[in-house]
């Protein structure tokens, strides 16, 4: 296999200046506001985006340090396989979040429900479509017993460089 190179299309700005203390999922960050600054060469790609209430953001976990195939996730005390977690320390440190789109102004997207560290490189934006992205009967695996902890869970720095 050959290497893959991604070029950021912009950056996400948020009130979270470091991983420690950042909510671990957007669902636990309902009031946090942020801004996406898209590079000017991608502005045309924003056409028709304002009709969507939510966006899927794909980004680079640029502050994550290395990876392990077994990790202790934020919502559990037991080590789990990294692919059964949303931990930022991964073989390819790619994150995703579903955020609420407030408005688009030029190359700026104003968003809410942000769980991303300020300055994070943005790789892609996709519209969230409930009929595509919500699955009836979906199961949450080992997380099901820990979901009540989500609103209080914050990054404690365990996956930093």
Per domain, the residue ranges of the chain are: 10-129
CB 8 within 8 A of CB 122: yes
Query: Distance (Å, rounded) from C-alpha 27 to C-alpha 128?
Result: 14
Give residue 106's pLDDT band: very low, low, confident or very high (50, 70, 90). Answer: very high
**What digits encode the pLDDT tens for the residues 69-91?**
999 988 888 999 999 998 999 99
| pTM of structure | 0.90
Pick the CATH number of 10-129 from 3.20.20.100, 3.20.20.70, 3.40.50.300, 2.40.30.70: 2.40.30.70
Query: Distance (Å, rounded) from C-alpha 30 to C-alpha 123?
Result: 23
**What digits encode the pLDDT tens for the residues 27-52?**
778 889 999 999 999 999 999 999 99
Identify the residue with better confidence: 128 or 144: 128
Give residue 141's pLDDT band: very low, low, confident or very high (50, 70, 90). Answer: confident
């Amino acid at each position: 296999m050959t290497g893959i190179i991604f070029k950021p299309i912009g950056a996400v700005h948020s009130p979270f200046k470091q991983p420690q203390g950042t909510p671990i999922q957007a669902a636990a960050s309902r009031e946090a506001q942020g801004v996406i600054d898209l590079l000017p060469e991608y502005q045309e790609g924003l056409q028709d985006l304002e009709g969507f209430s939510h966006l899927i953001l794909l980004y680079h976990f640029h502050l994550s340090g290395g990876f392990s195939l077994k990790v202790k996730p934020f919502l559990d005390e037991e080590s789990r396989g990294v692919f059964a977690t949303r931990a930022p320390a991964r073989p390819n440190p790619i994150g995703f979040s579903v955020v609420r789109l407030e408005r688009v102004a030029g190359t700026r997207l104003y968003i809410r429900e942000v769980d991303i560290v300020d300055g994070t490189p943005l790789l892609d934006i996709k519209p969230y479509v409930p009929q595509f992205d919500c699955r009836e009967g979906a199961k949450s695996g080992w997380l099901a017993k820990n979901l009540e902890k989500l609103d209080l869970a914050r990054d404690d720095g365990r996956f930093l460089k």
